[in-house]
Structure 1
């Protein structure tokens, strides 16, 4: 009977709009089942969510990842950020002397010049100014570079370019001049305003614009992948053989910056890797 009376009073209270007593035990909420409670979704930045952020499996949202600002001097793979420039690298005297002896034995005409240090990593510790690569083969205009670069250029010219010219244009053909577009110059790669320093700025590179033959005819470097003439065959032959002497060879087919010359350099890479294209 007491239970029936209580139920009657409760029903009357609800129907009449009366409030329930405020005193008494407070209901305890049911504990959440582990794994079912959704994680609040942080504010997202507009655009594509950052790579590597963990997706919330329940909501599908991807939380914002705060980017850490690079500290001064930190290196980055982005070429648009200037690299940390190192001082001009010193060359051992005995190695330089040995190189000069080899270059002289090939008959090149050159002059030892004073150390170059133009700042920002540009310079050559022991530069040489080359006026002739081989006997009777001039370098025009004369170029300043490391001895190791001049030696690679002389060997490539003697062992590859000269025989290729004779094979393509006749046994009596000789190369009178190798016309260069750039040797040492303090600049970034491809003359960019930001990015990595060029190998030209270390004296490690030379750009070849053309070859002038003994009869006065000039073979210009230009796109020749589809050139079925002997001029095209000659250029492709000297380009392919260049990788035997240089660690980098870029021809007119490599990119827009090398449409009218061959870029040759002697940069050192791990495990003797060479980049030729």
Structure 2
């Protein structure tokens, strides 16, 4: 037992030294989340942990200059939500389409990091231009998983998920999951890039590779289990 404790201490010290030498505090599990920092080894867990701290989440978004409107709590029972926010248009930021979507704060925080560190770099790499809009199907929906009449409720039931259907580039070109996912052209490669990048930020990422129910969208959610490192990426 003593040997195991010493090993754990040594690993923690080695991790700390690495992060400090590299100037990457986001790679440490015990440092506070900072949306101004690049994505680190523990960023995804910290984002999922915000589900229990909605005020902290909103403070982080405000500090990062992300405009939003906090929504009143709504729903009831298994479909109650209390931390939904509506992102507001900002110069130079990607717009969500439709604009009236209001996911939970941790989902919005992950979406912003996804935009900054995954989506826009991938768009520049594959197309040489930025994404200006992200199209989606929904966020909040009081339903069970896959619309079943029984079983676990979906993360959509608490606004902790959003379904991304496509992207619009600055020149007006549309990249959609249903049409472009299977292609080996820049559109298909871009979609796989953003799916893979989302897996570092969301608790669950489901794509057409998972099943037919996701043939036309990327399901992104911030289930609480992500705080413990239990993630799903398909």
Pair 1:150 & 2:108 matched: yes
Of 235, 253, 258, the residue aligned with 2:209 is 253
| Secondary structure class of the residue paired with 2:102 | strand
Of 141, 157, 168, the residue aligned with 2:98 is 141
User: What residue number does 1:174 align with?
Assistant: 130
Pair 1:272 & 2:225 matched: no
| Secondary structure class of the residue paired with 1:264 | strand
Distance 1:215 1:103, change over 3 A: same
Unaligned runs of 5+ in 1: 1-90
Q: Work out the CA distance in 2 between the residues paired with 1:113 and 1:194.
A: 29
User: What residue number does 1:34 align with?
Assistant: none
Aligned positions of 1:1-277 closer than 5 A = 95-116=53-74, 118-132=75-89, 135-142=92-99, 143-170=101-128, 173-222=129-178, 226-269=182-225, 271-277=228-234
Q: Work out the CA distance in 2 between the residues paired with 1:178 and 1:206.
A: 11
Shift of 1:92: 9.3
* Structure with bigger gyration radius: 1
Shift of 1:174: 1.2
TM-score by length of 2: 0.72
Structure in which a larger fraction of residues adopt helix? 2
Q: CA RMSD in A?
A: 2.4
CA contact (8 A) 1:131 1:139 kept: no
CA contact (8 A) 1:131 1:141 kept: no
Distance 1:145 1:234, change over 3 A: same
CA contact (8 A) 1:183 1:203 kept: yes
User: What residue number does 1:39 align with?
Assistant: none
TM-score by length of 1: 0.61
Q: Relative to structure 2, which stretch is displaced further, 226-235 or 262-271?
A: 262-271
